[in-house]
Amino acid sequence: MPKKILIVEDEFIIADTLRGILKRAGYQVCGIADTVAEAMEAVQTHHPDFVLVDIFLIGELSGIDLANRLSELNIPFIYISANSNHKVLTAAKKTNPYGFVIKPFREKDVLVALEIALYRHQKNIESGQRQNTALLKKTDQIIGSKKDWKQKICDLGQALQPFIPFELMSVCFESKGNPDVDLGFLRIAFNEYQIIGGEELATIGGNTPLAFSKQATEPENLDTTALRLFGTRNKKMISDIFNMQSDLDFALEVPGKGAFHFSFFSKLKNAYSQHHVAVFETHQALLTDFILKVLPHEAVYTNTSFNPGKVELANVHRPNPFNDIIGSSHLLLKVFDEVSQVAPADSSVLILGESGTGKEKIAYKIHELSSRRDKPFVKVNCAALSSSLVESELFGHEKGAFTGAFERAIGKFERAHTGTIFLDEIGEIPVDIQVKLLRVLQEKEIERVGGRTTIKTDVRIVAATNRNLETEVAEGRFRLDLYYRLNVFPIIMPPLRDRNEDIPALVDYFLQVSNKRTGREVKAVSQGVINQMKQYEWPGNIRELENLMERNVLLSKDGYIHDIEFPFSQTKKQEQPAFNEVSSMSEGEKKHIIAALKKCKGKIWGIGGAAELLQLPPTTLNSKMKKLGISKDSGFY
């Protein structure tokens, strides 16, 4: 049955053109609307499978307002607009569209965007179904476990992490107007939470008075949120103590018992949206049933009767899959959650982040936690492949396919069959090869250079780049259809400067590693050096920290590191632009490379060269210099 498409466009000629394009492609156009009101009426009447939305429409409401309504109804949509300025695109992206088509457009642009959007929507549905099944199974396991009810609720919090991420979850059960259960669960590691009661909250807050007092007899009209540890009156204190930036509150009516409240807190700004509200509402019956089965028949006021402590969850008995990745900052834990969520699926993953943030390690974790873990994991550094041989390296070649092809060669995709291929620095792949890579993703088949037959291949693709691919697409260096096909599940690796609370643990780890590697016995790094490291910008991120530690271990004279010299001049830390915004990333990269070249007196290769300092293959550095226009002739160094 053909997909039903609703067109929301206030220019008749464009709307009619779109209708013709869609009909020729076999889609059913169920209506055309030129205002948000007409569009919503059409949605209620025709129940479209997909909507094409112009951003600027007749009337007070815009396409972005309509998009928010469509998101609430779980109806996928694509924006079609002539206005692509940064402000409009930023607002539009917050609605999580399935794609963009910029006017003027070609027929092919519309059809490819729609095809990719339908593919991504189907993948989201499949992922949601898997998550729902997993949550149901997990809650059944928790209910059947022999743990006490507090630990069971803690386990529930961990099960909810993929759906509603948080750094702190509080729960409160109100029976007869009093909070009989009132606890917080603070996340301190991937699978560890600290249970917090009244005394602990006051202690952590420096004995700050809590904004309630429990009396023997409470007035009948008393606002019960005033009694709660994590209620409205204490939220400012919670925010200050734990540096929380967002919170989300839900309440469940538990039949025959009372009201059970959930509050989720995050250190990220604008962490919660209507999507999270919809998630909770979807699972409301499941959660109510869980609380009914888990809560004790006679709840006891926990602030005085329970002595909180560290609670290890059920899966603590299994090895922590991320124990070889150092750090417990909320940004890194968010990455761990995303990896845990996507690894069991077979979706393509795009890992974004600056050089040296650990993208390859995360790619391997995705493979390691997937059903393909016992199959090949093939790494490809796209930046190191010459443009003339990249096709042969990826897809292989037949004997005699080109000069020097003396025998058949098996490409990386064939080697990765039934396993995972990691395409590092995918932004470096030439546009003509991007077309063939798209074919692999769409049709799951390759063709060797010089070959006449296609070869079916079963490969999961994990790609990574330190480039802003949206900028690359806008400037014609990366195909839009390939970008949206790869970007099914993006993971953003945080730079080290944004997770500097992990620096002490990383320093300790690399100190031990460097001691083993060099045969030294350096005991510690001074607190002054740690403080300096927390202020440094870390252009080379974790890779730079590792090399800096090894260098200073070698330079240590008394078994301690008292001071440290950074490769780049230290400047006052400034707010960094978000990675997924259009920013001057290339300019920053250019400055770092020029600084390294100046420090190395123009030397690129070999010991003491800029490639060694930046921890890049010389070929990669050369390629980057060409693209950024850095040369001796240009006078940059």
Summarize pLDDT for 446-456 with one digit per residue, the tens.
888 888 888 89
Judged by average pLDDT, the poorest of 58-62, 218-222, 458-462 is: 218-222
Hey, where are the domains in the chain? 4-120, 145-210+226-312, 330-492, 585-637
Indicate whether 356 pLDDT > 60: yes
Residue given tokens 């949120």 in the structure block: 225
Q: Is the pLDDT of residue 492 over 80?
A: yes
What per-residue confidence (pLDDT) applies to 576?
Answer: 44
pLDDT score for 212: 47
Phi, psi for 346 (deg, rounded to 5): -115, 20
Secondary structure (DSSP) of 7-27: EE-S-HHHHHHHHHHHHHTT-
* DSSP letters for 298-338: S---HHHH----EEE-GGGGSPPTTTTS----HHHHHHHHH
Cβ–Cβ < 8 Å for 263, 164:
no
Beta-bridge partner residues of 420: 377, 460
Q: Where does 62-111 show beta strands of DSSP type E? A: 77-81, 100-102
Q: Please tell us whether the domain made up of 330-492 is placed in CATH 3.40.50.300.
A: yes
Supply 332's token pair. 């890194």
Sign of the Cα torsion 290, 292, 296, 299 reads positive
C-alpha 268/C-alpha 273 separation (Å) is 12
- pLDDT score of 634: 53
pLDDT tens track for 178-217: 557 788 999 988 888 888 887 777 777 665 555 544 433 3
Residue 350 or 307, more confident: 350
Q: Can you say how many angstroms the Cα of residue 81 is from the centroid of all Cα atoms in its chain? A: 27
pTM over the 0.85 mark: no
Confidence of residue 50 (pLDDT cuts 50, 70, 90): very high
Fold classification of 4-120 (topology level): Rossmann fold (3.40.50)
User: What's the CA angle centered on 567, arms 557 and 582, to 5 degrees?
Assistant: 150
Q: Do domains 145-210+226-312 and 330-492 have the same CATH topology?
A: no
What pLDDT does residue 208 have?
A: 57
3-state SS assignment for residue 178: strand
What is the model's pLDDT at position 566? 83
Which of 357-371, 404-418, 618-632 has the weakest average pLDDT?
A: 618-632
Q: Is the pLDDT of residue 474 over 80?
A: no
Is it the case that residue 570 has pLDDT exceeding 60?
A: no
274-288, 430-444, 509-523 — most confident range: 509-523
DSSP 497: G
Instruction: Return the residue matching tokens 């620095």.
Output: 425
pLDDT of residue 211: 53
- Sorting pLDDT into bands at 50, 70 and 90, what band is 624? confident
Exposed, middle or buried: residue 346 (CB in 10 Å: 0-12, 13-18, 19+)?
middle
Neighbours of 14 (CB within 10 A): 17
Q: Provide, rounded to the nearest whole percent, the portion of the chain with pLDDT above 90.
A: 39
Q: What is the pLDDT of residue 479?
A: 83
Question: CA nearest 345: which of 183, 506, 202, 489?
Answer: 489
Q: Which helix (H) or strand (E) holds 32?
A: strand 28-33
What value does the mean pLDDT of the chain take? 82
- 510 band by pLDDT with thresholds 50, 70 and 90: very high
Identify the residue with better confidence: 628 or 385.
385
Residue 590 clears pLDDT 50, i.e. is over it:
yes
pLDDT, average across residues 33-58: 93
* pLDDT for 110 beyond 60: yes
Can you give the pLDDT at residue 439?
Answer: 80
Residues 414-419 have a mean pLDDT of 94
Q: Count CB atoms within 10 A of the CB of residue 410.
A: 12
Residue 257, pLDDT > 60, answer: yes
CATH class of the region 145-210+226-312: alpha beta
Q: Tell me how many degrees the CA angle 193-195-200 measures, rounded to the nearest 5.
A: 130
Kind and range of the H or E run holding 413: helix 412-415
516-552 as b/e, with b when 16 or more CB fall inside 10 Å?
eeeeeebeebeeebbeebeebbbbbbbbbbbbbbbeb
